[in-house]
Amino acid sequence: MIRAEGLCKQFGKVAALDGVSFSAPDGRITGLLGPNGAGKSTTLRILYTILRADSGNAYVDEVSVADNARGARARLGVLPHGAGVYPQLTVRENIQYFGALHGLRRRECRARASEIIALLEIDEIADRRTKGFSQGQRLKTALARALVHRPRNVVLDEPTNGLDVLSVRKLRAILQRLREQGHCVLFSSHVMQDVAQLCDEVVVIAHGHVVAHGTPEALRERSGAGDFESAFVRLTGSEDQA
C-alpha cells in the first residue's frame, strides 16, 4: 500500500509537483499516467526516497518516507527509469548483491535469486556477465534485482520503455502475477496501451497535479471520449496546448 499526500517539489523556480495525492492499494496495479515532464518520475523518486518533498508526505505500508526513509525503502522493490546493471557481474551476482544489501542472509539470498531467475525465465543468461546485454536483458536483470527481497510494494518507472512486444507481454504477465500474490504494483508510463490493458486504477498527472483518478473505464466515461487515448488527451488538457 502506497499513499501520497499533497506532495510538492520545486526545482529552482519550476514547480515540478504542486500537491500530488493518490493511493495505490495492495493487490492492484496502479498506473501513473501523464505526458512528458508531468511529474511522474519526480513523484516516484519521492516515494522511493531519492528526493525529498518540499511539503506533503508519502507512506509505504504506513511508514513515512520523510521520517523513516530506510524503513520505507526496505518495503519497496524499485525499478528506476533507465536502470543500469553492473557489466562485470553476472545476472545472478547482480541480483544477489541487491538481495544481500536488503539484508537477506547468504543461503536465503541464493535461493531467492534462483527463484526469481526461474520466475522471469532468464536461466539461460543467469550466469553470463551483463556486459553487452540488450535493453530487454538488462531490464529483466534490473527487474529481478528489484524483486529479490519479496517486496510488498513494487514501483517501476517507465518499465516498458525500449522493450519489444514480446518482452512487454512478459512484463505484463509478471506484473499480473504480482497482483495476484497481493502485491501493490505502481508503475509510470506515457504509453496508453500499457496502462489501459494492465491497470486496475489510473492516476493521471499533468503539470504537477493529479487531474483524474479511477479505473480506465471510469476515466473514459468521465471524459466522454470514445477511447482511452482521447480521454487522456482531454484529461491532461494537452489538446489546448497543441
Q: Which residues bind another protein (CB under 8 A)?
A: 48-52, 70-71, 73-74, 76, 78-89, 93, 97-98, 100-103, 129, 142, 145-146
DSSP string, 177-236: HHHHTT-EEEEEES-HHHHHHH-SEEEEEETTEEEEEE-HHHHHHHHT-SSHHHHHHHHH
- The least distance separating another protein from the CB of residue 211, rounded to whole angstroms, comes to 27
The minimum distance between CB 106 and another protein, in angstroms, equals: 11
Nearer Cβ to another protein, position 3 or 129? 129
For residue 152, what is the DSSP state? S
Minimum CB distance to another protein smaller for 79 or for 185: 79
Nearest distance, CB of residue 217 and another protein, angstroms = 33
Nearer to another protein, 67 or 229 (CB): 67
Calculate the CA dihedral of residues 55, 39, 14, 83 and round it to 10 degrees. Answer: 100
Closest CA to 199 of 227, 175, 165: 175
Label each residue of 41-98 as H, E or C. HHHHHHHCCCCCCCEEEEEECCEECCCCHHHHHHCEEEECCCCCCCCCCEHHHHHHHH
CB of 48 to another protein, least distance (A): 5
Q: CB 145 → another protein: shortest distance, Å?
A: 7
Burial (CB < 10 A; 0-12, 13-18, 19+), residue 127, is exposed
Q: Shortest Cβ distance from residue 208 to another protein (Å)?
A: 18
123 bridge partner residues: none
Edge-to-edge strand ranges of the sheet holding 184-189: 76-79, 153-157, 184-189, 29-33, 201-206, 209-214
Nearer CB in complex with another protein: 160/236: 160
By beta-carbon proximity to another protein, the closer residue of 138 and 220 is 138
Closer of 101 and 111 to another protein (Cβ) = 101
CB of 113 to another protein, least distance (A): 14
> For residue 88, which phi and psi values (nearest 5 degrees)?
-90, 0
Instruction: Find where cell 540488450 sits.
Output: 134
- Nearest residue (CB) to another protein, 106 versus 222: 106
